[in-house]
Amino acid sequence: MIFHHAVFNSVTLMRNVAIFLLIVIGIAAMGMAAVAGRVLRLRASLRNAADADEKHSIKVDGLTRNYLLHVPFDLPEGKPVPLVLVFHGGGGHDWNMPGLTHFDDLADQENFIVAYPDATNGHWNDSRGLSTADDVGFTRALIADVSRSHPIDAHRIYATGISNGGFFSNRLACDLSDKIAAIASVAATMPKPLVAECKPSRPISVLYMQGTEDPLVAINGGKVGAARDHGENISLADSVKFWREADHITSAPQTKDLPDHYNDGTHVRLQIWSGGKDDTEVDVYTIEGGGHTWPGGMQYLPKLIVGKASENLNATRTIWEFFQAQELP
């Protein structure tokens, strides 16, 4: 009797464990389905936002390269205007960025042109070996292409991007500083292989926005990506040091905490190193509690995957205000 009771309990336990596992698997499946549904809705939303922009193609090294262009309807006639280049993240596309950043809306308000370049394989050649495409050459050709049909101010061309696009913006500061007046890197520090290769032809102003809880690009440096197989980045502190030295900045930073407008678990601290050669500076927005996101943008994936999108900083407007103060000598 005792033996049969023990067998019964064992069978019951196994059945309960099996039921529990089925419930866990079901919940996980529902969670994955919810994430998949969210991604599909996000893709549709981003595509809709990009539909209003012009689609352009150019040939670079025998390859057809694409970009989206947003030109405000009522630009002042005959007056040269700034050009802002906005680079998508790894695995993304040009159409991801208008809806994520809302640079189109700001361009309409502030009278500048925005271009959203598209990578050949979803990845920019930022020095980490993710692509072999001549993306620096593509950027130079894109600037020339836009300048042929629109009155671009050659002294006020800027580059920004998120993640792989932010890493690539760092490369442009190294390799295209004769064309780019300033860069802003979001959720990306400096790629480790780029440090030894970087030899900018002139000092250049740089802005960083980095979350302390970014699960894909560690603020203290290390291997990049969820699987840690996308090369390495150096720390935010070392990235700042690199550009301070490149710009011949020796002064201490001005530091201030920005006000918290939302109780979302994030807080923003700003540090500005100014007084560089040719009036260059390095600005750093450290988002305490922030993740691998565009501050002020949508929570495009669950926090468990990418961390928090801070509402306490409007990245797009902040970047534009930084760019406004920078121009080629």
Phi and psi at residue 24, in whole multiples of 5°?
Answer: -60, -45
Question: Has residue 115 been placed in a domain?
Answer: yes
Question: Has residue 276 been placed in a domain?
Answer: yes
* 80 and 94 part of one domain: yes
**CB neighbourhood size of 7 (10 A):** 10
Q: What is the pLDDT of residue 31?
A: 54
Which of 30, 51, 72 is the last residue before a domain boundary?
51
Number of structural domains (the chain) is: 2
How close are the terminal C-alpha atoms of the chain, in Å? Answer: 94
* 181 and 260 part of one domain: yes
* 156 and 170 part of one domain: yes
* 167 and 270 part of one domain: yes
* 103 and 154 part of one domain: yes
Kindly report the CATH number assigned to the domain that includes residue 213.
3.40.50.1820
* 171 and 267 part of one domain: yes
Q: What is the pLDDT of residue 77?
A: 85
Report CA-CA distances (Å) from 171 to 90, 134, 272: 15, 12, 21
* 4 and 149 part of one domain: no
* Host domain of residue 132: 55-324
* 6 and 71 part of one domain: no
* Whether the predicted model's global pTM rises above the 0.95 cut: no
Q: What is the pLDDT of residue 46?
A: 57
Question: Has residue 329 been placed in a domain?
Answer: no
Sheet order of strands, 254-257 included: 54-60, 63-70, 113-117, 81-87, 152-162, 182-186, 205-211, 282-288, 267-273, 254-257
pLDDT tens digit at each of 329 positions of the chain? 333 333 334 444 344 444 444 444 554 454 545 445 545 455 545 556 667 799 999 999 999 999 999 999 989 888 999 999 999 999 999 999 999 999 999 999 999 999 999 999 999 999 999 999 999 999 999 999 999 999 999 999 999 999 999 999 999 999 999 999 999 999 999 999 999 999 999 999 999 999 999 999 999 999 999 988 999 999 999 999 999 999 999 999 999 999 999 999 999 999 999 999 999 999 999 999 999 999 999 999 999 999 999 999 999 999 999 999 999 98
Token pair 């970047």: residue? 319
Question: Has residue 45 been placed in a domain?
Answer: yes
* 117 and 265 part of one domain: yes
* 163 and 307 part of one domain: yes
Q: What is the pLDDT of residue 50?
A: 61
The CA distance from 35 to 73, in Å, is 37
Q: What is the pLDDT of residue 7?
A: 35
**Contact (Cβ atoms closer than 8 angstroms) between residue 67 and residue 56:** yes
Cα R_g (the chain), whole angstroms? 23
* 137 and 12 part of one domain: no
* 26 and 42 part of one domain: yes
